């Protein structure tokens, strides 16, 4: 008899928990929080550093190792252009929107934003 009451009490507790969780509402925000804007001079320095790192990483691939590989840098707009025999890739700094855009004939256009929380450039997906 005592065992039956324990089982019945456990079932009632289980049902009460299910009812409680079915009515719980979790507050949500109607707006997504974006990344904070950087000061223009701070963004310019970070973007310039990013292009310099990419350019430095590509140096081992330059001639005489690859005769069809060419890298050039422009200042207005600040961009890095990588030219191969059949393709051209362009990494451009978009100062107004604080983004870096990669245009690739293979994967299309990708946009990157700097995340000051993680201190990294991350892929940006437009809403």
Segment among 32-41, 53-62, 86-95 with least mean pLDDT = 32-41
Indicate the length of the chain as a whole number.
Answer: 127
**DSSP 8-state assignment for residue 116:** T
Which pLDDT value is given to residue 14? 58
Q: Where are the domains of the chain?
A: 40-124
pTM over 0.75: no
List, for residues 45-56, the tens digit of each pLDDT value.
999 999 999 999
Quote the distance between the C-alpha of residue 85 and its chain's center.
30
Residue with more model confidence, 66 or 6: 66
Q: What average pLDDT does the segment 101-112 reach?
A: 93
List, for residues 56-74, the tens digit of each pLDDT value.
999 998 888 888 889 999 9
d(CA 78, CA 33): 28
Contact 55, 71 (CB under 8 A): yes
Sign of the CA dihedral with 27 first, then 32, 33, and 35 last = positive
d(CA 62, CA 88): 15
Q: Topology of 40-124 in CATH?
A: Metal Transport, Frataxin; Chain A (3.30.920)
**Closest by alpha carbon to 51, among 63, 39, 43, 60?**
43
For residue 32, pLDDT beyond 70: no
Q: Would you list the DSSP string of 7-26? A: HHHHHHHHHHHHHHHHS---
For residue 125, pLDDT beyond 90: no
């Amino acid at each position: 008899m005592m065992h039956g009451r324990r089982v019945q009490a456990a079932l009632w507790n289980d049902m009460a928990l299910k009812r409680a969780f079915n009515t719980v509402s979790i507050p949500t925000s109607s707006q997504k929080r974006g990344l904070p804007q950087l000061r223009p001079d701070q963004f310019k320095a970070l973007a310039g550093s990013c292009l310099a790192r990419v350019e430095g990483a590509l140096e081992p691939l330059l001639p005489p190792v690859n005769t069809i590989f060419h890298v050039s840098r422009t200042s207005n707009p600040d961009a890095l252009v990588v030219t191969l025999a059949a393709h051209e890739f362009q990494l451009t700094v978009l100062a107004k929107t604080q983004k870096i855009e990669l245009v690739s004939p293979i994967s299309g256009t990708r946009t990157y934003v700097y995340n000051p929380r993680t201190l990294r450039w991350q892929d940006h997906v437009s809403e």
